[in-house]
């Protein structure tokens, strides 16, 4: 049976499709939010969604976030995303090839890449059916984590009224929520910079590994919000910072790698009212896509990529300063900064 592709009309999105294939079990949504700056780039996320509505909501939020992320990072790329619902299927080579056919049907307007639940090997299989996939033999997690580090340094120095990165994270207490590839890389980098860590993850073995390697403290997943710390770093799935959890936070700074950390944009006001500096996720977690973009755009060198990731520090400082001067939440300021490149 061929793959069925249904077009969905969603305001403010260039294209949203729902693709299914009963033979392979494919059930996916692809959202192309914007191609104003170039082809929409965003990973393929494999997850078990209880309801179709949850998958649609996720792909719309994630693709819009990619537009902001790629714009702020200075990339000539738009924002898109694919989510594949594994509620009633397993990720098999046949399913991946079906996804490749759907990506190919987007005719270069959308380039997919590795994301939650997918791997470089998966991308190779998808590549059998389409050239519109970012292939790399590098783990993008360290690059993503490095961008988060730069955002942390910027926010700490903003509080201290210092203007250069350096030893600003030494002896700070940082709570990490989620120890996936990026969370693990972040823990290692923070330990190397002399930070004290408290961590949590649903996988206890990962917590024990970080405790053994980096002398981290461990708390239960729901208790991470109550940890008194300098920086709270969400590195799991999005939406963990909501009206209820903000009330529990005992940090000075919110800065992590997870996409869509704020349940809604209005949560930014709650953070501001509580005096917590929020370094917007789509500003600081761009390191991975910058690294992947290098191969697509033929950027001249790894040094140039490092410079682009280091630029997150300056962009974060600008965002924090404008937010302070205008008394507007940082997430809304970062959106405005992104929209300037988009002429919105």
Q: Give the residue numbers annotated as catalytic, written as ranges.
A: 81
The Cα 55–Cα 184 span in angstroms is 26
Q: Where are the beta strands (DSSP E) in 157-289?
A: 173-177, 196-200, 217-218, 231-234, 253-254, 277-278
Closest CA to 287 of 332, 257, 330: 257
Helix (H) or strand (E) run with residue 101 in it: helix 93-105
The Cα 261–Cα 254 span in angstroms is 10
Cβ atoms of residues 294 and 303 within 8 Å: no
Cβ contacts of 275 within 8 Å, gap of 6 or more: 252
Cβ atoms of residues 183 and 201 within 8 Å: yes
Torsional sign, CA 180, 62, 42, 79: negative
In DSSP terms, 26 is beta-bridged to: 21
Token pair 């009330």 in the structure block, residue: 247
26-34 and 15-21 beta bridge pairing: antiparallel
Cβ atoms of residues 206 and 265 within 8 Å: no
Cβ atoms of residues 144 and 287 within 8 Å: yes
217-218 and 196-200 beta bridge pairing: parallel
Closest CA to 138 of 293, 256, 283: 293
Characterize 120-135 residue by residue with b for buried, 16 or more Cβ atoms within 10 angstroms of its Cβ, and e for exposed: eebbebbbebbebbbe
Cβ contacts of 240 within 8 Å, gap of 6 or more: 177, 234, 258, 261, 263
Give the pair of three-digit tokens for residue 5.
Answer: 């592709």
């Amino acid at each position: 049976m061929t793959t069925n592709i249904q077009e969905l009309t969603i305001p403010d999105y260039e294209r949203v499709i729902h693709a299914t294939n009963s033979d392979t079990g494919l059930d996916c949504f692809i959202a192309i939010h914007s191609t104003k700056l170039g082809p929409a780039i965003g990973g393929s996320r494999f997850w078990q969604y209880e309801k179709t509505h949850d998958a649609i909501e996720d792909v719309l939020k994630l693709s819009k976030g990619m537009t902001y992320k790629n714009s702020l990072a200075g990339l000539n790329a738009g924002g898109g995303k694919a989510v594949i619902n594994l509620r009633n299927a397993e990720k098999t080579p046949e399913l991946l090839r079906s996804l490749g056919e759907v990506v190919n049907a987007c005719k270069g307007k959308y380039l997919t890449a590795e994301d939650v639940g997918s791997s470089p090997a998966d991308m190779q299989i998808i590549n059998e059916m389409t050239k519109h996939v970012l292939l790399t033999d590098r783990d993008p997690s360290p690059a993503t984590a490095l961008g988060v580090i730069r955002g942390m340094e910027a926010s700490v120095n903003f509080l201290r009224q210092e203007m250069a990165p350096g030893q600003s994270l030494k002896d700070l207490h940082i709570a990490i929520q989620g120890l996936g590839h990026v969370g693990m890389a972040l823990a290692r980098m923070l330990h190397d910079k002399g930070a004290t860590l408290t961590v949590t993850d649903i996988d206890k073995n990962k917590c024990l590994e970080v405790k053994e390697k980096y002398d981290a403290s461990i708390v239960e997943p729901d208790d991470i919000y109550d940890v008194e710390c300098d920086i709270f770093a969400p590195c799991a799935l999005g939406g963990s910072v909501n009206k209820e959890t903000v009330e529990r936070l005992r940090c000075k700074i919110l800065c992590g790698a997870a996409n869509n950390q704020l349940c809604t944009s209005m949560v930014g006001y709650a953070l501001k009212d509580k005096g917590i500096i929020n370094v917007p996720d789509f500003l600081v977690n761009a390191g991975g896509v910058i690294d992947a973009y290098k191969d697509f755009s033929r950027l001249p060198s790894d040094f140039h990529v490092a410079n682009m990731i280091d630029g997150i520090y300056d962009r974060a400082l600008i965002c924090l300063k404008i937010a302070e001067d205008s008394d507007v939440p940082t997430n809304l300021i970062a959106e405005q900064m992104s929209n300037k490149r988009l002429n919105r």
